[in-house]
Amino acid sequence: MSQMHASDDEDPPPQTAPGFFPGSLHFSTAVAPALYLVATPIGNLEDITLRALRILAAVDLIACEDSRITRRLTEHYGIRTRLLPYHEHNAAQMRPKLLQVLAQGGAVALVSDAGTPLISDPGFKLVRACAEAGHPVSALPGPSAVLAALCLAGLPTDRFFFDGFLPAKATARRARLEQLATIDASLVLFESGHRVEDSLADLAAILGNREAAICREMTKLHEEVRRGKLADLAEEAGALETRGEFVLVIGPPTKPQALSVETLDDILRRELRCGSLKDAVARAAEHSGWARRDVYARALELKTHDQGASEEP
């Protein structure tokens, strides 16, 4: 599964004269034997690096998810390298053939339909097989729907959790969201147009009214980004244009405002009367907004103080 699929709505690519690549840029056609993981555009064909074009032109073959999609890119840049389908349905049969090319001193490029390979596709098994066989593997960084959406969302980027596509069935989707709800990071999810309304409703119901963003058709002519609270975005989802694929970015859970030390003491004393120190700290930390280590230190101090007070004549 690729990150994003190119569509007919992308920006019109610049006209490329026959023979534009690689001759007019004077690229060398020499390439070392290796597996090259090549990032390709998520929509706009201009979003590809010069190194990626050089490698795609020089390798012995390009392993791709859908040759029809990859051929649009190679024909646009005048690249004539042989394409070989490699996807989740034929990977087990094609992997030995790719390894054989590498064993004979050849060079192979792996691409997904769009974006960085190995993100939501089966390429990691090929990388693992190459590593076990001692073949070099080189990554060519470039476009990524995950990172593009994260940058556009305007939400915290210091920590994020990517979870690919949510389950299609409602029960499984809600169960998965219950698991994601406690992750202290921004969430990045892929979604298809015909399920985005249902998914947004479940996100709002289970994750709460967090800040979020809906990113659609990124880098293409009709790129759209909607930002707001999950409840508002879910309510407006029925009016969304559903063509293309979506990336949803949801901000991290809101941390509770820290309670005063007096209120924390009251909670700790109540919990300590009912249970162990460990349980009291866990419950107080969950509801107080205090760091667990600080709650633990305060609980020890209170326990020592209260025991000393009770022992006084």
Identify the CATH number of the domain in which residue 238 sits: 3.30.950.10
Q: Which tokens hold the place of 224?
A: 């759209």
pLDDT band at residue 8, thresholds of 50, 70 and 90?
Answer: very low
Q: In Å, how far are 161, 167, 296 from 182, measured between CA atoms? A: 11, 18, 21
Q: What is the pTM of this model?
A: 0.76
Does 176 share its domain with 279? no
Q: Which domain holds residue 183?
A: 146-250
Q: Tell me if 265 is assigned to some domain.
A: yes
pLDDT band at residue 1, thresholds of 50, 70 and 90?
Answer: very low
Domain limit, last residue, from 112, 143, 174? 143
Tally of domains within the chain: 3
pLDDT number for residue 231: 95
pLDDT tens-digit series, residues 113-166: 999 999 877 799 999 999 999 999 999 999 999 999 999 999 999 999 999 999
Q: Are 66 and 1 in contact (CB under 8 A)?
A: no
Q: Which tokens hold the place of 238?
A: 């029925």
Mean pLDDT is lowest, of 124-133, 140-149, 235-244, 256-265, for 256-265
pLDDT band at residue 310, thresholds of 50, 70 and 90?
Answer: low
Does 172 share its domain with 127? no
| Tokens 């190459």, located at residue | 130
